[in-house]
Copies of this chain bind each other. A is one copy, B any other.
Amino acid sequence: MSLLIKNGTIVTAYDEFKGDILVKDGKIVSIGEKLDSMAEEVIDAEGKFVMPGGVDQHVHFSFDFKGEKVRGFETSNAAAVGGTTTVVEFVNQEKGKGLIDTIDNYRKSEVEGVAMVDYAFHGIITDTSTGVFDEIEKLPEAGYPTVKLFMAYKGMPFHSDDAALAKALQKAKDVGVTIMVHAENADLIDMLQKDCIEEGNYQPYYHAVSRPPMVEVEATERAINIAKAMGAPLYIVHVSTKGAIDAIVRAQSQGLSIYGETCTHYFLLGKENLAKENFEGAKYVCSPALREQDDRDYLWKSVKNGWLNAVSSDHCGFDWKHQKHMGEKDFRNIPNGAPGMENRLGMLWTYGVETGKITRSEFVNLVSTTPARNIGLDYCKGHIGIGYDADIILYDPKQKSIVSNENSLQGVDYNSYEGMEQIGKVDKVLLRGELIVDDGKYIGKKGQGKFIKGKPYGLSYKRF
Contacts and interface: CB of A to CB of B under 8 A. Distances in A.
Interface of A: 10, 12-15, 17-19, 22, 28-35, 38, 161-163, 166-167, 185, 187-188, 190-191, 212, 214, 217-218, 221-222, 225-226, 228-229, 249-250, 252-253, 255, 301, 304-305, 356, 359, 383, 385-387, 460-462
Identical subunits present: 4
Give the residue among A191, A221, A383, A461 with the most B Cβ atoms within 10 A. A191
Nearest to A256: B305
B34 A32 contact: no
A181 to B, nearest CB: 14
B253 A32 contact: no
B34 A38 contact: yes
16 contacts: A15-B383, A19-B387, A30-B35, A33-B386, A34-B38, A161-B187, A162-B185, A166-B187, A214-B225, A217-B225, A218-B222, A218-B225, A218-B226, A222-B222, A305-B462, A359-B461
A24 to B, nearest CB: 8
Contact of A191 (B166, B253, B461): B166
Central interface residue in A12, A29, A225, A387, by most chain B CB within 10 Å: A225
B191 A387 contact: no
Contact of A163 (B188, B214, B221, B255): B188
Contact of A32 (B17, B30, B225, B252): B30
Contact of A253 (B14, B190, B250, B255): B250
B385 A15 contact: yes
Given A32-B29, A35-B30, A188 B214 contact: no
B163 A190 contact: yes
A267 B163 CA distance: 30
Most buried by B among A31, A190, A228: A31
Given A253-B249, A461-B359, A383 B304 contact: no
Name the 9 nearest CB pairs between A and B, nearest first: A30-B32, A163-B191, A162-B187, A163-B187, A214-B229, A218-B225, A19-B386, A161-B187, A356-B460
Nearest to A461: B359
Contacts of A250: 253
A191 B304 CA distance: 33
A17 B191 contact: no
Nearest to A162: B187
Given A187-B161, A225-B218, A229-B212, A383 B14 contact: yes
Given A166-B191, A191-B163, A226-B188, A255 B305 contact: yes
Contacts of A255: 301, 304-305
User: Which among A17, A188, A356 has the highest number of chain B CB atoms within 10 Å?
Assistant: A188
Contacts of A12: 14
A198 to B, nearest CB: 12
Contacts of A28: 32
Given A32-B386, A166-B188, 4 more contacts: A29-B32, A166-B187, A218-B229, A250-B253
B29 A30 contact: no
Contacts of A462: 304-305
Contacts of A383: 14-15
A290 to B, nearest CB: 19
